[in-house]
Structure 1
Amino acid sequence: MVVPTLALFVTTAVTVGMRPAAAAALGVVLLVAAVIAVLWSGEAGAHNRVDHTALGVLAMACTLGAVGAGVQAARSHALAAHPLVSLVGTRTGVEGVVTGFDRPVRSGGVMVPFRVEATGSGESVRAAELDVVVLAREGWRGLPPGTRVRASVAVLEPLSSGDPPGLRALTPPRLTGEPGPAGRGPAAVRERLRGVSERALKGEAVGLLPSFVLGDEGGVSTETRDEFRASGLAHLAAVSGANTTYVVGAVLLAAAAMGAGRRGRIIAAGAALAGFVAVVGPEPAVLRAAGTGAIGLAALSSHRTGRPLAALAGVVLMVVMVDPVTATGAGFILSVTATAALVLAARPVAVRLRRPWIPATVADVVAVCVVAHLATLPVLVASGLETGPWALPANVAVAPAVPLVTVLGTAAAALGPVWEGGAVVLAAACAPALWWLETVAHIAAGLPGSPDPTPR
Structure 2
Amino acid sequence: MTDPAPGPPPHADGAPGGSPAARDLRLVLPTLAVFITTAVAVADAAVGAAALAVVLTAAAAVAATWSAGAGHRSRLDSRALGVLALACAVGAVAAGVQAARTHALAAHPLVQLIGARTGVEAVVTGFDRPVRGGGVMVPVRVEVTGTGATARTGELDVVLLARAGWRGLPPGTRVRTSVTVLEPRSAGEPPGLRALAPPRVTRGPGWTGRVPAAVRHRFREVSERALTGEASGLLPSFVLGDEGGVSERTRDEFRASGLAHLAAVSGANTTYVVGAVLLGAAATGVGRRGRLVAAGLALAGFVAVVGPEPAVLRAAGTGAIGLAALGARRTGRPLAALAAIVLLVTLLDPGTATGTGFVLSVCATAALVVAARPVALRVRRPWMPGPVADVLAVCIVAHLATLPILVASGLASGPWALPANIAVAPAVPVVTVLGTAAAALGPLWEDGAVVLSAMCAPALWWLETVAGVAAGLPGSPEITPA
What's the TM-score bracket when you normalise by the shorter of the two chains?
over 0.9
Quote the Cα distance in structure 1 between the aligned partners of 2:338 and 2:222: 36
- Quote how far apart the aligned CAs of 1:78 are: 0.3
- For the structure 1 residues 28 and 82, does the alpha-carbon distance in structure 2 shift closer, same or farther, using more than 3 Å as the test? same
Q: Which amino acid aligns with 2:411?
A: L
Structure 1 residues 380 and 408, CA gap change in structure 2 (3 angstroms)? closer
1:356-404 deviation per Cα after TM superposition (whole angstroms, max 9, x unaligned): 9999999878866665555444433443334233323322322222222
2:414 equivalent to 1:391: no
Question: Is the 1:370–1:392 Cα contact (8 Å) retained in structure 2?
Answer: no
Q: Per-residue displacement from partner, 1:28-73 (whole Å, max 9, x unpaired)?
A: 2212222332233234444556622112211211111011001101
CA distance in 1 between counterparts of 2:286 and 2:65 reads: 53
Cα 1:135–1:356 change in 2 (3 A) is same
What residue identity is the alignment partner of 1:272? Answer: A
Tell me, yes or no, if the aligned pair for 2:275 and 2:391 is still in contact at 8 Å. no
Q: What are the residue-to-residue correspondences of 1:291-306 with 2, within 5 Å?
A: 291-302=317-328, 304-306=330-332
Separation (CA, whole Å) in 1 of partners of 2:354 and 2:254: 24
In 2 relative to 1, CA 362–45 (structure 1 residues): closer, same or farther, beyond 3 Å?
closer
Residue aligning to 2:61? 35
Q: Deviations over 1:298-350 (max 9, x none)?
A: 33455633223222211211110111110011111122223223333455456
Confirm or deny: 8 A CA contact 2:268 2:398 kept in the other structure.
no
* Counterpart in the other structure of 1:110: 136
Shift of residue 410, structure 1, vs aligned partner: 0.8
Instruction: Give me the whole-angstrom Cα distance separating, in 2, the residues matched to 1:297 and 1:162.
Output: 35
In the superposition, relative to structure 1, how do residues 385 and 407 fare at CA in structure 2: closer, same or farther (>3 Å)?
closer
Cα pair 1:89 1:154 within 8 Å, conserved: yes
Residue of structure 1 in register with 2:365 after alignment: 339
| Counterpart pick for 2:437 among 404, 411, 418 | 411
TM-score, L = length of structure 2: 0.88
Cα gap change, 1:95/1:49 in structure 2, threshold over 3 Å: closer, same or farther?
A: closer
User: What per-residue deviation string (whole Å, max 9, x for no partner) do you get for residues 96-154 of structure 1?
Assistant: 10000000001110000000000011110000110000000011110000000000000
In 1: Cα distance, 2:478 partner to 2:391 partner: 29
1:105 aligned partner, one-letter code? V
Alignment partner for residue 151 of structure 2, among 100, 125, 128? 125
2:214 is aligned to: 188
Q: 1:356 to 1:45 in 2, by over 3 A?
A: closer
Per-residue CA deviation, residues 208-231 of structure 1 (Å, 9 max, x unaligned), is: 111111000000001111111122
Tell me the CA shift for residue 417 of structure 1: 1.1
Shift of 1:17: 2.4
SS in 2 for 1:61: helix
1:194 is displaced (CA, Å) by: 0.5
Alignment of 1:206-355 (within 5 A): 206-302=232-328, 304-348=330-374
- Pick closer, same or farther for the CA change 1:94–1:240 going to 2, 3 Å: same
CA distance in 2, matches of 1:255, 1:247: 13
- Indicate conservation of the 8 Å contact 2:180/2:193, yes or no: yes
Distance 1:359 1:224 in 2: 38
Hey, what does 1:168 align to over in structure 2?
194
| Residue range with higher mean Cα deviation, 5-14 or 422-431 | 422-431
Q: Distance in 1 between matches of 2:295 and 2:86?
A: 34
How much is the aligned-residue C-alpha RMSD, in angstroms?
2.4
Instruction: Indicate the residue corresponding to 1:437 in structure 2.
Output: 463
Distance 1:351 1:187 in 2: 41
* AA aligned opposite 2:341: V
- Which AA in structure 1 matches 2:209? G
CA distance in 1, matches of 2:481, 2:50: 40
Larger mean Cα displacement after TM superposition, 329-338 or 136-145: 329-338
Structure 2: unaligned runs, 5 residues or longer: 1-26
Give the alignment partner of residue 82 of structure 2, picking from 35, 41, 56. 56
Kept in 1, the 8 Å contact 2:223–2:235? The answer is yes
The 1:350/1:392 distance shift into structure 2, 3 A limit, reads: farther
Residue 156 of structure 1, CA deviation: 0.4
Deviation larger for 206-215 or 257-266:
257-266
Percent identical: 77
TM-score under structure 1 length normalisation? 0.93
Give me the whole-angstrom Cα distance separating, in 1, the residues matched to 2:256 and 2:286.
43
Secondary structure, counterpart of 1:335 in structure 2: helix
Rounded to whole Å, the distance in 2 between the matches of 1:361 and 1:49 is 43
Q: 1:397 to 1:335 in 2, by over 3 A?
A: same
**Counterpart contact for 2:326–2:390, Cα < 8 Å:** no
Distance 1:455 1:117, change over 3 A: farther
Matched, 1:8 2:34: yes
Q: Distance in 1 between matches of 2:110 and 2:384?
A: 59
2:165 paired with 1:144? no
- Other-structure match for 1:80: 106
Q: Assess if the C-alpha contact under 8 Å between 1:147 and 1:177 holds in 2.
A: yes
